[in-house]
Structure 1
Amino acid sequence: MTTIDAPAATFDSLDPATGAVVGTHPIHDAAAVQDAVDRARAETAYWQGLGFDGRKKSLVRWRKLIARRMEELAALMARETGKPAGDALLETALAVDHLAWAGSHAEKVLKRRSVSPGLLMVNQAASVEYRPLGVVGVIGPWNYPVFTPMGSIAYALAAGNTVVFKPSEYTPGVGEWLAKTFLEAVGRPVLQVVTGYGETGAALTAAGVDKVAFTGSTATGKRVMAACAETLTPVVIEAGGKDALIVADDADLDEAADAALWGAAANAGQTCAGVERVYVHDRVYDAFLERLVRQAKELEAKPGGQVGPITMPSQVDIIRRHIDDALARGGRALVGGPVPEGARFVQPTVLVDVPEDSLAQQDETFGPTVTVTRVKDMDDAIARANGTRYALGSTVFSKDHGMEIAQRLKAGMTAINGVISFAGIPTLPFGGVGDSGFGRIHGPDGLREFTYPHAIARQRFKPAIALTTFRRTAKEEKQLTRVVRGLYGRGRA
């Protein structure tokens, strides 16, 4: 087994509910990160040489190992993040499903295929394939430390790349577990992990990787982009969100309220594509709100409960500031309220009468809070839903007009009569626009994200009209003009 020499400096991962030490991990400096990238580079010939079928078999072995040890991974995840064990199991299951899809569909999506050469180049045979980039650096988040980075890791590996993974400093144990189990299943360090703080991630962006996949805040994503720009290293950025849920007047209100609460408070609200704003048609506003408030009052953030602690201590201050700003500007908390100093848990909070330009409506809160706003019609709801600089996910509840409303939303993804369902479907791309980032993980787009297209044009027979030669004559140019005019210039504009 090849390992990176552990540096003297270490750091602890902590249980956010208690502050207890979960594990101690090395802080990899720039030299150690470069060593990891060099080792990954040395593995590219082996990994690419396996071909699609060989990589599929390797990923199947890894998938089976993870599936057999799901409870072990989920328990570690729950300790490092504080999320309920059941939520950690669900996250692991979804990650395994995506791993299975990526490994089994990479060949179909990426292999060389014929494409039409067009009428003017009919003498050519045209084809394109998608080739692996080489070494992909993945910088993962702490809120979904398995599912989210695996959306890059699994797809990059299936596409033929080797990977160096830098997990969040809050969940380093999860990252190490993934790399160790991969080595156990495959026997080669095709997937490696480096741990540490922001400096370790910065070192990864400067270590000569062929692409960086980053998930985190918009502000940090901008810094990652700036660093990668120095070497023209391409990036895929999955940043923040301020996702809206729209409730039409024909919605199933019980289901809509349940989805709004789960979307807002699951994982203690620490979900980039979670529900932070709800816009409800005037006709059903009161009935919806009654259901949401009743359900929210039955939910409590506490040790061993369905809502866990806030994983990153500094996030508590952001949540507190957003709630305080909403209340100071005329908003009301029907459930929950101001966050006490020193709190590790934030109670589910339902805010109403919150101004549209407030922090709670415009900035990512990343806590178990939700604003509920009355709207006169769906035009009003859509305008408000589209009214932030974020555009990641969205949700619509309507029995008859879901598609009509969804198609007018500015967002990378939309769920109709469900919540965040798009994330669990391996065939759908996941990602946003605007301050929510760009590029895609998951699905065929996610496989192609970690490749470059290689196009080939092969002459099958000599052309009727020679175009790409200095021997081209004026007569042939006139023939070309007649052909183009005949093909594309007939009829009225």
Structure 2
Amino acid sequence: MTAAAPTTATFDSLDPATGEVVGTHPVHDAAHVAGVVDRARIEASWWEGIGFDGRKERLIAWQKHLVQHMDELVALMHRENGKPYGDAALEVTLAIDHLHWAAGHAEKVLRRRRVSSGLLMANQSASVAYRPFGVVGVIGPWNYPVFTPMGSIAYALAAGNAVVFKPSEYTPGIGEWLARSFLEAVGRPVLQVVTGFGETGGALCASGVGKIAFTGSPGTARRVMAACAETLTPVLMEAGGKDAMIVDEDADLTAAADATIWGAAANAGQTCAGVERVYVHERVYDRFLDELTEQAKGLAAEPGGQLGPITMPSQIDIIRRHIDHAIACGGRAVVGGPDAVGDRFVQPTVLVDVPDSCPAVTEETFGPTVTVTKVRDMQEAVAKANGTTYGLGSTVFGKARAVETAQQLRAGMTAINGVLSFAGVPSLPFGGIGESGFGRIHGPDGLKEFTYTHAIARQRFKPALALTTFRRTAKDEERAGKLVAALYGREGREGRRKGR
């Protein structure tokens, strides 16, 4: 095992609501990261060796430990991330539910199973299994510092991998807490943490891990992919969204407005699959807007309030630019507006009459803002919802056409008459397309994402026609041709007859 080089540089994590120092953490360099990955390879061998039952037992022990110490983690999330206690508790609860699902379903999804060998290869017994990469690197975000990375960590661990987690530089203490809790529950450092900035993440990409799971902006995702390309390290990318909600004329408008403001403003709007655009049928537009306006006016971003601060200070400027540009282009703020943007907190803002070309419609805002647009019908709503380079989540409110509308959306996930519900269902895959990335966490797809496929063909008896040998004769080839014609030619001939 390579010895980890001493790291002397440090950085502080800050309470985004007050600017107070929450903790001081090391900036891990490439040598340290390499040493951690070397240790992880040793742990991965042991972890895979204890099998599905052994891993399930230990992951359930970690699950129980998280439940027992949940208040401690929630308090840390409130300080380091800034979100209200209730939101932090909900996030941890969902993460625990996913951990439980992954631990309990890994064997069923990943174990070796028989598959058909086909008619020509009937002498073979065919099987497939999904095997762990060994070590998986996870580069996590700050907005959901437990739930989002746990969507990779829990599923990668359940699949038999060791994990090296690089949390965001804004929430390093939460990452360290998770690794420490795992060690306390399991007794082996199968989950380890490295902290620092982009250079630390780059070192993890170059360390030779089996796969990198990344959550962040599209720009950073491209840099991660470029770094991983040097070693042909496969990647899973979740790169944000500009998610739309569609409200049909037969929707429950009160429920739709409630879902809109929660999807737009919960976690201070810092949700990759949150609601940023709403398209409303013209027949109910005015009533919906009145309901949304009334609900949004009742919310406030403030210390101890329902909405917390903006965690990343640089995001304030982006939010301000989007609001200012929308109004300069002819849009109106029916709630909030330019004055809603403070130094640390941003008040809920509802924008209307915003042109489709404005950044508030085309770019991820990542703040408690939402644009509301009137449409003639669901066809126009779908076209506008799909008119983006992103493709993460989406929402439809309605009755008669809700499922039909949902099926036309270009997105990885859709909630009908609810918001973000797909994220809470452990058996559903989570992920997007386009600028929102690729690959999936959660569900069977999420388990398989952290494995490679291993196929085995075992000869049960000698074949009637031995074709993969230099002893093959012309007669064997003739018999093989006749067999293929008999087995597969009839369908083609019958199809041509029917087409006449």
* Distance in 2, Cα, partners of 1:131 & 1:172: 30
Percent sequence identity over aligned pairs: 73
**Alignment correspondent of 1:458:** 458
Offset from partner CA, 1:34-79 (integer Å, 9 cap, x none): 1111111121221111111001111111100001111110110011
Please tell me the root mean square deviation across aligned C-alpha atoms, in Å. Answer: 1.4
| 1:325-357 CA distance string (max 9 Å, x none) | 111111100000015775211110000001111
The equivalent residue for 1:231 is 231
CA distance in 2, matches of 1:340, 1:125: 66
Q: Tell me, what secondary structure is at the counterpart of 1:390?
A: coil
The one-letter code sitting in structure 1 at the alignment partner of 2:373 is T
Residue 171 of structure 2 corresponds to 171
TM-score normalised by the chain length of structure 1: 0.98
What displacement does 1:492 show? 1.8
Cα offset, 1:4, TM superposition:
6.3
Q: Tell me the SS of whatever aligns to 2:126.
A: strand
Amino acid at match of 2:474: A
Give me the whole-angstrom Cα distance separating, in 2, the residues matched to 1:130 and 1:450: 9
Gaps of 5+ in 2: none
Residue aligning to 2:65: 65
Deviation at 1:474, TM superposition (A): 2.7
Query: 1:161 is matched with which residue?
Result: 161
Matching residue's letter, 1:492: G
Give 1:314's aligned residue.
314
Q: Is 1:9–1:26's contact at 8 Å kept on the other side of the alignment?
A: yes
* Amino acid aligned to 1:283: R
Give SS of 1:223's match. Answer: helix
What is aligned with 1:355? 355
Which residue matches 1:290? 290
Instruction: Report if the CA contact (8 A) 1:140-1:167 is conserved.
Output: yes
Question: Which position in structure 1 is the counterpart of 2:180?
Answer: 180
How many angstroms apart in 2 are the aligned matches of 1:91 and 1:222? 28
Deviation at 1:149, TM superposition (A): 0.2
- 1:302-341 matches, within 5 Å, as 302-339=302-339
In structure 1, the gaps of 5 or more residues are: none
- 1:405 matched to 2:408? The reply is no
CA distance in 2, matches of 1:386, 1:137: 32
2:137 is matched with 137
Distance (Å, rounded) in 1 between the aligned partners of 2:342 and 2:269? 18
Q: Give the SS at the match of 2:338.
A: coil
Q: How far apart are residue 486 of structure 1 and its match?
A: 2.8
Contact 2:5 2:35 in 1 (8 A): no
Task: Report the Cα distance in structure 2 between the residues aligned to 1:21 and 1:447, rounded to whole angstroms.
Answer: 37
Q: Tell whether 2:48 aligns with 1:48.
A: yes
Distance 1:192 1:183 in 2: 9
Residue 249 (structure 1) aligns with: 249
Q: 1:121: how far off?
A: 1.3
In structure 2, distance between residues paired with 1:445 and 1:205: 23
Aligned-partner Cα distance in 2 for 1:343–1:453: 50
Q: Counterparts of 2:225 and 2:376 in 1: how far apart (Å)?
A: 41
Amino acid in the other structure paired with 2:315: Q
How far off is 1:469 after superposition? 1.9
What is the Cα deviation at residue 296 of structure 1?
0.4
Alpha-carbon separation, structure 2, partners of 1:4 and 1:168: 21
The residue type equivalent to 1:16 in the other structure is P
Q: Tell me the distance in 1 between the aligned counterparts of 2:488 and 2:428.
A: 36
Amino acid aligned to 1:100: H
Q: How far has the Cα of 1:208 moved from its partner?
A: 1.4
Tell me the residue number matched to 2:258.
258
Q: Is the 8 A contact 2:45 2:134 kept in 1?
A: no
Q: Which residue of 1 aligns with 2:9?
A: 9
User: AA paired with 1:168?
Assistant: S
TM-score by length of 2: 0.96
d(CA) in 2 for partners of 1:450, 1:274:
26
Please say if 1:424 is aligned against 2:446: no
Shift of 1:234: 0.5
Partner residue, 2:151: 151
CA distance in structure 2 between the aligned counterparts of 1:342 and 1:92, rounded to whole angstroms:
29
CA distance in 2, matches of 1:339, 1:47: 54
Q: Matches of 1:397 and 1:303 in 2, distance apart?
A: 32
Distance across 2 between alignment mates of 1:246 and 1:420: 14
Q: Distance in 1 between matches of 2:193 and 2:210?
A: 16
The residue that corresponds to 2:478 in the other structure is 478
Aligned to 1:106: 106
Cα deviation digits, residues 273-308 of structure 1 (max 9, x gap): 000000011111111111101100111111111111
Deviation (angstroms), 1:487:
2.7
CA distance in 1, matches of 2:74, 2:280: 36
Structure 1 CA distance for aligned equivalents of residues 473 and 136 of structure 2: 49
Superposition deviation, residue 146 in structure 1: 0.2
SS in 2 for 1:176: helix
Identify the residue that residue 382 of structure 1 maps to in structure 2: 382
Counterpart of 1:414 in structure 2 is 414
Compute the displacement of 1:475 (Å).
2.8
1:354-375 deviation line (CA, Å, top 9, x unaligned): 1111101111000000000001
- The alignment partner of 1:383 has SS state of helix
Counterpart CA distance in 1 for 2:238 and 2:481 is: 47
**Maintained 8 Å contact 1:382/1:408:** yes
The 1-side partners of 2:277 and 2:314 are apart by 22
- What amino acid is the match of 1:399? K
The aligned counterpart of 1:276 is: 276
Distance 1:22 1:394 in 2: 35
Q: Secondary structure at the match of 2:408?
A: coil
- Residues 377/341 of structure 1: CA separation in 2 closer, same or farther (3 Å cut): closer
Following TM superposition, by how much is the alpha carbon of 1:485 offset from its aligned partner in structure 2, in angstroms?
2.6
2:86 is matched by which residue type in structure 1?
G
Q: Do structure 1's residue 74 and structure 2's residue 74 form an aligned pair?
A: yes
Q: Which residue identity is paired with 1:402?
A: A
CA distance in 2, matches of 1:479, 1:283: 70
Contact 1:320/1:339 (<8 A) preserved: no
C-alpha contact 1:6 1:26 (8 A) present in aligned 2 = no
SS of 1:35's equivalent in the other structure is: helix
| Segment drifting more, 189-198 vs 88-97 | 189-198
Letter in 2 for 1:170: Y
- What does residue 487 of structure 1 align with? 487
SS in structure 2 opposite 1:237?
strand
| Residue 366 (str. 1) matches residue 366 (str. 2) | yes
2: CA distance, partners of 1:303 / 1:313: 16
Distance in 1 of aligned mates of 2:408 and 2:475: 52
Partner SS, residue 283 of structure 1 = coil
Equivalenced residue count is 492
Deviation of the 1:5 alpha carbon: 6.9
The 8 Å contact of residues 5 and 31 in structure 2, kept in 1 or not, is answered as no
